[in-house]
Each structure stands twice: as C-alpha cells, then as structure tokens.
Structure 1
Amino acid sequence: MAVKAIRPTETFTKILNFFHLICSLVGADLSNDNYRVNIITVIVILSIIIYFIFTATTVASVFSEDWTYMLEASCMVGSVLQGCTKLISAFIFKNKICGMRAELERLYAEYEVKGDEYVKTLNKSCERMWQVTKVVGQMYLYAAVGIILTLIYFVIATTQKVYVMHFFIPGIDVNTQTGYLITLGVHAVVFMSGAFGLFAGDLFILLFLTQPMLFVDLLVLKVKALNEAAAQKTNAVQRLLIDIIEWHQYYTDYNKRCNHLFYYIISVQIVTSGISIICTLYIILMGDWPGAYMYILIAFSGLYLYCILGTKIQECNSAFCKELCNINFYDLDIKSREMMVLIIMKAQNPVEIKIGGFLPLSVQTALKITKTIYGLFTMMIRFLEEGQ
C-alpha cells in the first residue's frame, strides 16, 4: 500500500497555526486578518508599563545609595525594549505582515502542483522552519526554566531574598513574607509575558527570513528545467527564461520588504543585546543576581540568532548568483544571452539585511560586537580589582 505524500501546504498551514497559537497567548497575533485587541493584549501592555514605571521608581530610590544598581536594572531593559519594538512594529506593519503571510501561502500552493521535485523542496523548507522554531523555543524555555528553578532553590534552601527582576512595588514591604511573595508573583507574570512575547515576536521574523533559502532551492529547479528545454531546443525556452528573470526580481523585492519590515526590530535587537551582555557580565562579577548566568544565554542568543540568519541570507545571495551562472548560455539565442548578462550583473549587487542601515547583519558583525564586549569586560575586571 502506497504511503500518501505529505502536502507542503498542509505542513506550512500547521506551522502557521502553531505560530498563531503562540502569538495569541500574548494577545499579539497580528498576522491574523481577523485580529482584534483583547484582554491578553491589555495585560501584556500593562506588564510592560508596570515594568518601566516600577523599575524607574526603584532605581531612583536606590541610586543615591548604590549607583551600580542601575546597571543591574538595565540587564532586562534590553529584552523589554526588544519586545516593545516587535509589538509596535507588528501593529504598524500589520497589513504588510498579513499580506506577506498570505503571499507565502499562495506560493506553496502554486508550486506543490508542479511535480515531485517541487514537493520535496517545499517539504524541505517546512522541515527547516520547524527545526529553527524548535531551537529558538528551546533556547527561551531552558533559560526561563533555569531562572525560575534558581529562584525556587534560593527561596526554599536559603534565607537569601532573590528576585526574578530588578524592581520593587511601591507600598509593598519586601521584608515581610507576604510582601516578598507578592513581589515575586508580579515578577513572574511580567517575566513570563516577556518570554512568550519575545518568542512570539521572533517566530514570524524567522518565518520570513528563512524563505530566501527556499527561493534559491526553487531557482535550482527552474534552471534545471531551462537547461533541459534549451538542450532540446523547445519553444518553452523563452517562457522559462522570463520566469527565472521574474523570480530574481521577486527575490530581490522580497529581501527589500524584509529589510523594511524588520529594520527597527533588528537594530534594537543587536544594540540592546550587546548592552544587556555587558551589564549582565558586570552583575556576574559582582555576584548579586543568581539568574544572571541563565539570562546571559538569552542575551547572547538574541545577538547571534538574527546574525546567523543574516549570514544565511548572504549565502543565499551568493548561491542565487552562482545558480544563474549555471544556465547553459551557449544553448540560448543571442537575445536570451544578453538578458541573462543583465540579470547576473544585478545579482552581483544583492539586497542585504542591515543593522541600522549600514552594518550588514552577519555573524562577522556579531563577532566584532563580541570582541568589543570582551574589551569592555576586561576593563570592568581591572576597575573592580583597583577598587578592591
């Protein structure tokens, strides 16, 4: 009995449904055409407001006694700013996000009927998205659970009062057991809202930024079909060549739109991750926050996750240009050769995802930032040694 092949559109729909579920848990499923602001959205927004107000009042009250507390409080500010940027960008570009999501759904439906090779390529893309989603989800899960378990350990096994976040609630005395538990409860709600919010915000960015790899895989099949038609001198050569040219234009336009949609998100993500890493390293040196060891994993992951995707897009740009060069030019007529020369010239100047509009989003950039962080870290060590 033959096993029924899995349709890529079905798998892609399952991925989107999972994304919709995670985003709906934080009231921010803005890729849904029927999205409306709900009570969960209000709770998340209130959590962000509570965090900023209470953190500001806490820093103001403690700053005169210990200025270093401002550095401790600044650790999670980076993650909160990332969440705010993702939420605001999602509201601003809601229609464009919905349009690109629907566009990808149509693309999968269009190409899955073109043959087994296309089905295999589309399923490969879906598997790639699942793998990336699992890795990012596990990253947030392990870090969040690690911080919570560390907190539980200190509460149960020691008399030391530790906190998930660095703010206190005005009017609540943390020196009492009731006040301490209330503060921890508020911290937990704000922290979990932030963790789910960051994960939800990353999902659709990952969805869109992993598609260039699919576009390259589909180009390989298109070039193969063109070469076969050109070798046989069929009438389909001109149509297939125009299809490849249009595909290159679509690929370029897609990257431009991604650059526009995620410009602020990516810039804030990279900058705030770097600042959070520096502040967290300082706290680790001081030994004031047990959760710092887990949180720094989130900060480093936030820095490298997008940069790895940026490097993948750079590799896709190179692969796209290289695949265009795999077209058998000598089997084409003169007019078709001239058209391909122009397209290859354009492919050699591809659209890249930028940080702040000038730095390329790549692992190389992340390594430069890490090198700068290391330099600052050594300065902090010397500063602390001199202070002692």
Structure 2
Amino acid sequence: MAKTAVSRFATIIRLIRFCVKICGTDVSNPNYRMWAWTYLITVTIFAYFGFTGYTVYRAVQERDFTTILLAIATVGSGAQGLVKLVCCVGNATLVRNIQLTYESMYREYEDRSRVYSKYLHQRINNFYYLVLGFVFLYTTTVIIMICFPLFELVVYNKKAMILHFLIPGIDHKSDTGYVIMFGIHSTFLFLGAFGNFGGDMYLFLFIINIPLLKDIFKEKFNELNELVVQPDKYKEMHAKLWDLLDWHQKYATILRGTKKIYTAVMFVELISTCFGILCTISCIFMKNWPTAPFYLLYCFIVLYTFCGLGTIVETTNEQFTNEIYSNCLWYELPVREQKLVILMLAKSQDERSLTAADMLPLSMTTALQLTKAIYSFSMMMITYLDYEI
C-alpha cells in the first residue's frame, strides 16, 4: 500500500528530530528546554574555538604559518554549528509554529483531490533527494577525513591529524597522545557533522515546501475561475477569494518567519564557507593537507545549495505574482472583489527574499559572484607561488 503524504511528512519530522536530538536541540518538542546535553554541546563548540586559538598562538610563536592556515581552515564549520544552535533554540517557538503549519497543510489537502496529493508528494520527493544528497556528502566527507589519516598511519607510519588543533598537555607526536587526539578529533568531527546537518534539515524543510504553497495557490485560483463564470455562485466565489487572500498571507508569514530564524545563519554560512574555501585552496597549493580537496568540495556544495535555496524563494515570489496577474479572471469579478485582487497583487510584488543579514541576497547570482572572487584569489596564489619558486 502506498504511503500517504501525511505519513511521509511525519517520517521526515522523525528523521529531523533524531538528528537534532544528538545535539540536544529537539525544538520540535513542545516542552523543549535547554538541558545538560545542550550546554555540553555548546561548551564543546567553544572548546574547539579555544583549542584552535591555542594552536594559532603556538604557530605564531614558532612562526609556522602553514599550521595557522590548517587550523583556521575548518573553523568556519564550527561557527556555522554554533549559530544554527543559537538561532534554532532562540526561535524554538517560531520553528515549531512553521512546522505545525506545514503539518496541518498536509493533513488538510491530502484527501482534497489528486492534484493536491500530487503536489504534496512532489515536494516530499524533492526533500528526500536533497536530504539523501547531503547525507552522502556529510558521510563521505567524515569517512574520508577519518580514514585517510588511518591509512597514512598504517602504510607510512605517519601521525597525520584529522583536524588541525592542539590541546594543552597532550603531545600529539607520542603514541598515547596521538590516540587521544585522534579520538577527540573524531568526536568533534562527528558532532559537527550532525549539528550542521540537523540545523540544515529544518531550513530544507521550510524552503522546499515554499513552492508547495504556490502550487496550492495556483489550484485554488483555478477553482476560483470556475466559480467566477457562474453568476449563481457569488457566495462560493466570494469565500474562495477570501481563502486565497488568507493563503497568500500564510505564505508571507512562513517566509517572514523563515527569514527571521535563518538570516544570521545565512550570513555566517556564506562568510565562513568562503573563508574556509580560501584557506583550503591555500593548503592545497602548499600541499600540506591531503584531504583538503574533499573539504573544498564540501564547502562549494554547501555554498551553492544555500544560494540555490534563496533562488527557489525568489522564483516562487515571481510565480505568485504571475499567478495573480495572468491566471485570474479578474475582469469577470465584481468591482469590490477586483479591489481585493489588486491588493493581493500589490502585496505579492513586495515579498521578502532570503538574505545574509540583509547585506547579501541569497541567490545563485551571489554564488557566482563569490566564485568569481575565489577564482581571482586562486589565480593570485598560483602567480605568487610561481614567483616564489
């Protein structure tokens, strides 16, 4: 028996809650409160920053600038995890409200018609594809970053580190110290991957379903047009028009809430990802970090995925306007109802888009501009290294 869209959506929520529980941020729980594990994860993140700062301090003292680059290359991922934790926990009620809005939407439109059901399943499929892609990305990156140092240890007897931070009092060059550092690095990498992935899944859930609101809006307009041409269905037509106004307001509310939760996340995500890319490229040119290409690929995929989510919102905003302007038989409506359509059209032309702290628009155009800047930096590095050689 085929699963219903409601049951598939419930499975998605359970998957998200499983991931965020590992980091103590199950904000989907109506009774959620920060508890000991949440504080321990927060302390772990700050410990990572502290150990990285200590490593940089040691490297500056020893004038080892290569180690500085290695240490700070991955610090952006820690910053991303911290800001996602703070924003999701700080806006826990808003996150739950948006999630519950989508849940009620799936329950309400599951059995209305095959058209609505098709739209629901389509968005769930898109979410599954995106999540599976990121599961593969995170899993592959973590496995490679852990297994490659093991390979070097077994084959070449070389004590390579997973991450590049030191801990006071632990000698990573000794056998015992290396084992301890390897275990700590693996734990930090594992928690960082789960934390970032869990925070991303809420954003994926909210944004992937944004076009669903447009699809349902389109079908509602088709139903309105059928009523408009029937003079004896004025009451039904009037109720359907107000339903459309309410639906458009629901879209604006979800978009506004999503932006409030994630605007700081977007800013940190873009800045830290670009910073990590630049440092990683430098490490690749200097040939001192064997797994750097895999981390570089991870950073680029994250950059383009997040900017792609912003493009989805921009496109959906335009489609809402087009639906109102092109597909509505407004000329068949009474004058009073025409004014309501004009109001909705004016509002649709000023919808919010996702931005990075209201500084950069989140779109593929921004991603391409950042890539162009990164390319220019890479060319400069190549020229500089060739000059030094």
**Fold conserved (TM > 0.5)?**
yes
Aligned counterparts of 2:183 and 2:237: Cα–Cα separation in 1: 66
Aligned residue number for residue 377 of structure 2: 376
How far apart are 1:33 and its partner, in Å? 1.6
Matched, 1:254 2:267: no
Choose which of 10, 19, 23 in structure 2 pairs with 1:22: 19
Taking structure 1 as the reference length, what is the TM-score of the superposition? 0.95
Matched, 1:10 2:7: yes
How far apart are 1:213 and its partner, in Å? 0.8
Aligned residue number for residue 278 of structure 2: 278
Aligned counterparts of 1:156 and 1:177: Cα–Cα separation in 2: 13
Aligned counterparts of 1:280 and 1:119: Cα–Cα separation in 2: 45
- Where in structure 2 are the equivalents of 1:323-342 lying within 5 Å? 323-325=323-325, 326-342=327-343
How far apart are 1:28 and its partner, in Å? 1.8
Identical columns (%): 30
Cα offsets for 1:97-155 (capped at 9, x unmatched): 12221222122222224233222222222222212211122111121122222222111
Aligned residue number for residue 349 of structure 2: 348
Aligned counterparts of 1:256 and 1:38: Cα–Cα separation in 2: 29
How far apart are 1:36 and its partner, in Å? 4.1
When structure 1 is superposed on structure 2, of 372-381 and 75-84 the one drifting more is 372-381
Aligned residue number for residue 360 of structure 1: 361
Cα offsets for 1:223-273 (capped at 9, x unmatched): 110011112232311111111122122212221111111110011001110
Aligned residue number for residue 195 of structure 2: 197
Aligned counterparts of 1:257 and 1:187: Cα–Cα separation in 2: 36
* Residue type of the alignment partner of 2:264: Y
- Where in structure 2 are the equivalents of 1:37-56 lying within 5 Å? 37-38=34-35, 40-56=37-53
Cα offsets for 1:174-232 (capped at 9, x unmatched): 22111111111111011111011110110101111112111011011101100111122
Q: Is the 8 A contact 1:58 1:167 kept in 2?
A: yes
Aligned counterparts of 1:14 and 1:369: Cα–Cα separation in 2: 36
Choose which of 127, 135, 138 in structure 1 pairs with 2:136: 138
Matched, 1:126 2:124: yes
How far apart are 1:42 and its partner, in Å? 4.2
Structure 2 SS opposite 1:34 = coil
Aligned residue number for residue 230 of structure 1: 228
Q: Is the 8 A contact 1:270 1:302 kept in 2?
A: no
The runs of 4+ residues in structure 1 deviating greater than 4 Å are: none
Aligned residue number for residue 288 of structure 1: 288
- Where in structure 2 are the equivalents of 1:150-165 lying within 5 Å? 150-165=148-163
* Residue type of the alignment partner of 2:279: C
How far apart are 1:79 and its partner, in Å? 0.5
Aligned counterparts of 1:271 and 1:99: Cα–Cα separation in 2: 29
How far apart are 1:39 and its partner, in Å? 5.0
Taking structure 2 as the reference length, what is the TM-score of the superposition? 0.94
Aligned residue number for residue 181 of structure 1: 179
Aligned counterparts of 2:345 and 2:152: Cα–Cα separation in 1: 61
* Residue type of the alignment partner of 2:11: K
Q: Go from structure 1 to structure 2 and tell me whether the alpha carbon gap of 1:38 and 1:158 turns closer, same or farther (over 3 Å shift).
A: farther
Aligned counterparts of 1:341 and 1:49: Cα–Cα separation in 2: 52
Unaligned runs of 5+ in 1: none
RMSD: 1.6
Aligned counterparts of 2:331 and 2:3: Cα–Cα separation in 1: 39
Aligned counterparts of 1:269 and 1:298: Cα–Cα separation in 2: 13
* Residue type of the alignment partner of 1:237: M
